[in-house]
Structure 1
Amino acid sequence: MAHEDRYGLPLSTASDAAASAYREGVDLMLAGWTGTAETLERAIAADPDFALPHIARARVHAFYQQGDLARQKAARARELVAKRGTERERSHVETLALAIEGRLPEAIAATLKHVEAWPRDAVVLSLPLGAFGLFAFSGMADHDRARHELCERVARHYGEDWWFLTMSGWAMTENGDVARGRGITERGFALRRQNAHAAHAVLHAMFEDGSIEAADRLVDEWIPTYDRAGLLHGHIRWHQALGALEHGDAPRALAIYADVLQPSATQAPPLNVITDGASLLWRLSSYGHAVPKALWLDGDAAAQKLFPKSSLPFADVHMALFAAATQNRDALATRLAVIEQRVAEDKLPAGPVVPAICRALAAFADEDYAACVRTLAPVLADVVRIGGSHAQRELIEDTFIVALMRGGELPRARSMLDARLHRRPSLRDTRWQAALA
C-alpha cells in the first residue's frame, strides 16, 4: 500500500516506519512541539533515501540558525528527490531549500506556484505564514493582508484542520479582524492542545483585544504542558511579561526575563533570544522602570555573538535596541553603515525605515527626544515592513509616544493613544495613565 502524509499526499518511501515517523515529525513541527528533530531523524534512519525528512530536518536546523547543517541537509534532499521523488516532492524540496538559503523572492515565487498546484502541502504553505515567515520578512508593507488572503484562497482544502485553523485565524487577527480570528484560532487550539503555535496565536488575539487577565491565565494553565526546550516556550512567557507590564508589575516582568528569556536561561532560537530579550528590557526602561545595566550588557554580548553582522531588518532593529541601551556606538555605526549601503543599492526590500528606526532608537537612548520624534515621524507608517507581529512592532510606536511625552508634546501623545484605542476599543493601555495624568 502506498504511503501518504496526513494531508493525503503520496510519500516516496516503502518503509512503514519512515512514513509514520515523517508524519509525526511534520505534525510536531507544525505544532512547534518538542521532539520534532528526533522524530525526523527516526524517519531518516528508517529510510535514508527518503528526501522529505531530510528537508524537514533542514528547516528545523534553520529555525535555530544552524545554517551550515541546514544547507547540507537541503543539498542532500535535493540529491535524493532527484533520484526518487514525485513532481510534488521535487517542488516541495526545492521550495524549502530556497527558503533555507535565504533566497526570499525566489522562495516566495516557488511557494505560491507550489501551493497553487498542491494546496494541501501544509509544510510549504507554512513558509509564508506567521510573524517570522517569508511574507513578513519580505519587506512587503501589506504582508498581514497577504497572509490572510493566501489562507482564504486555500481554506476550502483544509476544513477543520487544527494546524490550518491556527494559522489562518492568526492571519485574520493580524489583518485586523480580531474577534473572528480569535474564534478560529481557538477552534484549532481545541482540536490539538499540544500546539504551541495555537497557544501563541490565541495570545496575539488576546493582546489585540485587551484580554490581559485571560491571557495570563491561559499561560499559567497551559505552559506546564510545554517543555522549556520548546520552540516558543520563552516567547509565550514573553507575552505574559507584556501583560505584567500592562499592570505596571515590573518585578514580575523581570522575573520572567530571568527565568526564561535572559541568554543564560533561554533555550529559544537565536532570533527569539535577541528580539524577546531586547524588546522586553527596552519596554521596561521606556515605561520608567529600572533595568539593571548588567542585564543589558549581558544581553548585548550574547546578541553580538548570535548576530555579528547585519542580516534581517527585524534582527537589526533589535540589535539597535541593545546598542542604544548600552551606548555601544561603534557597533551601531558599523551596522548602520552596512544597512544604509544596502538601502542605497536597493538591496534591502524593507527600505529606509530600517536605518531610520535604528537612528531614532539611538537618539531616544541619548535622551534627544526631539531627534527621535523627528526621525521616526516620517516612517511610522512603514514600520510594518520590518516584519514581526503587531505586538512586536508596537514597541516602535511606544518609543515614539514616550519620546513625545518626554519632549513635552503631550497633546500629540494623547492623540496617538486615542487613535490606538479607537482601533482596539477594549484595550486599556494602563501603562500610560500616570504619564498622561
Structure 2
Amino acid sequence: MTDDQHGLAMSGAGGAAARHYDQAIDELLHFRVEVDAEAAAALSEAPDFPMGQVLTAYLGLLTTEVEDARTARQRFAAWRARAGGPGGLLPRERAHVEAVQALLDGDFLTCGRLLGAITEQYPRDALALAAGHQVDFFTGDARSLRDRIGGALNAWHEDDRHYGHVLGMYAFGLEESGHYDRSEDVGLRAVELNARDVWGIHAVVHTYEMQGRFGDGIRYLDARLGDWSTGTFFNVHTWWHYALYALESGDTGRALAVYDAALAGGHGSMELLDAAALLWRLLLEGSEQHGRWQALADAWPAKIAVPFYAFNDMHAVMSYVGAGRVAEAEKLIASREAYLTEPHPDITNHAMTARVGLPVCRSLVAFGRGDFDAVVDLLYPIRHRINEFGGSHAQRDAVQKTLLEAALRGGRRDLARVLISERINVRPCSPFNWLKQGALAEALGDRAAAATARRRADQLARQT
C-alpha cells in the first residue's frame, strides 16, 4: 500500500510507480504534454496499478478525440479483464473505476455525479477534482464548475503543493457562475502561488472577457507571456483569448496575426475549434478569410467521422460553411440526424446533439445561405440553453452573435433591439455591443443615434 502526494492510499503501486503517478497529476494540473509520459511510466513500473489505469483512461477521454477515446476503452477493458472483479480494490479506487467506466460508455452526467461522490468523501483527491471539473466544462454545468471545487476547498491549505491549482479551478467556476469580482481575486491568488498555473491564468482572462475589460486582458497576458505561451498544450487556447481581445478593440490585423502564428495548422480538436471560433467571428463581420477557412475545413473530417461531442460538430460545420463547402456541412448534419434515430439513452452526447447541437449546426448552414429567418427560428428558442452542449460563456458567444447578426440582417429589428439591449446592459464597455447598437439605429433611420453609438464604440476601443 502506498500513499499519493495528497495522503490518499493506493494499491498495486510501488514507490517508483507512485512517484510517476504523482508527477503525472502535477503535469495534468499544469496542462503539460508530459502527463502522458508520466502516466505511461507509472504503468510501466506497475502494469496493473489501479489508479494508473484510471488516470490513463481519463486522459484518453478528456481530449474529446474519437481515436483517443477508442484506445482508452480498449486498454481499460483489457485491464479490467486481467484484474478480475473489483474485490481487491480500495473503496476510492472502486469508485474511480465506476466513474471512468461511465465516461468510457459516453455517460458524462453519471461520471460527473460519481466523481462528486468521491470528492465528498475524499476532498483531497486531485484527480477526481480535475476530471470532474473538465466533465462539468464539457456539459456546461456552471454551478457544478463552482461548487464541486468550492465544496472541497476547505480540505486544502496554502502549503499544499497544488492548493493554487485548486484555487485556479475554483476561479474558473466562479467566473462561469457570474461571480466576477470573487473570480478575479481567487484567480490572481492562484497565479501568485504558481505563476505557471495556466488554468488560473485562463480564469482571470475569462473574467476580464466577461467584464469587457479587454485592455486589462491584453496587458495581463502580455505581462505573463512566458508563463502561458510555452511548455503547455493550453497555449493555443490562451492565444485564442488574446485574439478575442484584439477583435473587440478593433484590431483585426493583430487578431489575424495571432491566428496565423498560433492557431493555424492545429491538429487536435481543441485547436481546430479555437481556430474556427475566431474565423467565424470575423465572418459575422463580413471578413470571409476564404483561404484560411479552406485549410481549416480540410482538417476536420477525421475528427468528426463518428458522433462523439456535439460542441466539436458545431465548429466543424462553421469551418465547412466558412470555406463555402456547404455540402460537407449538410453531410455531417445528415449523419447526426441518422445518429439520433438510434437509441442511446445513456450517451450524453446523444441528448446534446438533439437539444442543441443539431439546431445550432442547421442555423450555421442557414446563415451561410443567407436564410436569416431560419437562423432566428432555430436559435432563438434554444438561446438560454446553449450551455447544454458544453464550452464556456466566451466560446458559446459565437452562437449568440450569430443570432444577433441574423436578426439584424434579416430585418428582425424588435428582436435585434432586445438582444442588443441585453448585451449592452451586461457589458456596457464592449465596443462590439455599441457597434451593433449603431447598426440597428442606422437600419431604423436614426443617423444621430447611430453616430452616437459608433462614437461610444470608438472611445471604448481607444481606452483599451
Of structures 1 and 2, the larger Rg is shown by: 2
Q: 3-state DSSP class of the match of 1:128?
A: helix
Q: Cα distance, 1:229 vs. partner?
A: 6.3
Flag the 1:47–1:84 CA change in 2: closer, same or farther, 3 A.
farther
Q: Cα distance, 1:244 vs. partner?
A: 0.9
1:337 matched to which residue of 2?
Answer: 334
2: CA distance between counterparts of 1:237 and 1:304? Answer: 24
Q: Cα distance, 1:289 vs. partner?
A: 2.5
Q: Cα distance, 1:314 vs. partner?
A: 0.7
State which of 79, 87, 94 in structure 1 corresponds to 2:98. Answer: 94
Q: Cα distance, 1:345 vs. partner?
A: 6.1
Verify the 8 A CA contact 1:31 1:196 in the aligned structure 2.
Answer: yes
2: CA distance between counterparts of 1:273 and 1:431? Answer: 30
Verify the 8 A CA contact 2:423 2:433 in the aligned structure 1.
Answer: no
2: CA distance between counterparts of 1:353 and 1:281? Answer: 21
Larger displacement relative to structure 2 (416-425 or 23-32): 416-425
Q: 3-state DSSP class of the match of 1:134?
A: helix
1: CA distance between counterparts of 2:343 and 2:302? Answer: 27
Larger displacement relative to structure 2 (274-283 or 309-318): 309-318
1:408 matched to which residue of 2?
Answer: 411
Q: Cα distance, 1:372 vs. partner?
A: 1.6
Verify the 8 A CA contact 1:51 1:80 in the aligned structure 2.
Answer: no
Larger displacement relative to structure 2 (270-279 or 66-75): 66-75
Counterparts of residues 122-141 of structure 1 (less than 5 Å): 122-129=126-133, 133-138=134-139
1: CA distance between counterparts of 2:307 and 2:36? Answer: 28
State which of 184, 187, 195 in structure 1 corresponds to 2:186. Answer: 184
1:385 aligns with 2:382: no
2: CA distance between counterparts of 1:431 and 1:48? Answer: 59
Flag the 1:74–1:424 CA change in 2: closer, same or farther, 3 A.
farther
2:122 matched to which residue of 1?
Answer: 118
Q: Deviations over 1:74-98 (max 9, x none)?
A: 2355445958642212322332243
Structure 1: which 5+ residue stretches go unaligned?
none
| Residue identity (%) | 27
1: CA distance between counterparts of 2:115 and 2:213? Answer: 35
2: CA distance between counterparts of 1:5 and 1:346? Answer: 41
1:278 matched to which residue of 2?
Answer: 276
Q: Cα distance, 1:228 vs. partner?
A: 4.8
Flag the 1:300–1:53 CA change in 2: closer, same or farther, 3 A.
same
Flag the 1:304–1:376 CA change in 2: closer, same or farther, 3 A.
same
| TM-score of the pair, normalised by structure 1 | 0.88
Q: 3-state DSSP class of the match of 1:230?
A: coil
1: CA distance between counterparts of 2:185 and 2:110? Answer: 34
1:369 matched to which residue of 2?
Answer: 372
1:222 matched to which residue of 2?
Answer: 224
Flag the 1:100–1:223 CA change in 2: closer, same or farther, 3 A.
farther
Tell me the number of residue pairs that the alignment of Structure 1 and Structure 2 aligns: 425
Q: 3-state DSSP class of the match of 1:381?
A: coil
Q: Deviations over 1:221-255 (max 9, x none)?
A: 33334465622111000000101110121121111
State which of 280, 295, 299 in structure 2 corresponds to 1:298. Answer: 295
Larger displacement relative to structure 2 (253-262 or 104-113): 104-113
2: CA distance between counterparts of 1:429 and 1:85? Answer: 55
Q: Cα distance, 1:431 vs. partner?
A: 7.3
2:444 matched to which residue of 1?
Answer: none
1: CA distance between counterparts of 2:190 and 2:181? Answer: 15
Corresponding letter in the other structure for 2:93: E
Flag the 1:199–1:136 CA change in 2: closer, same or farther, 3 A.
closer
Larger displacement relative to structure 2 (119-128 or 194-203): 119-128
Flag the 1:104–1:432 CA change in 2: closer, same or farther, 3 A.
same
Verify the 8 A CA contact 2:61 2:103 in the aligned structure 1.
Answer: no
| TM-score of the pair, normalised by structure 2 | 0.83
Q: Deviations over 1:292-318 (max 9, x none)?
A: x12111111101122123331211211
2: CA distance between counterparts of 1:262 and 1:110? Answer: 38
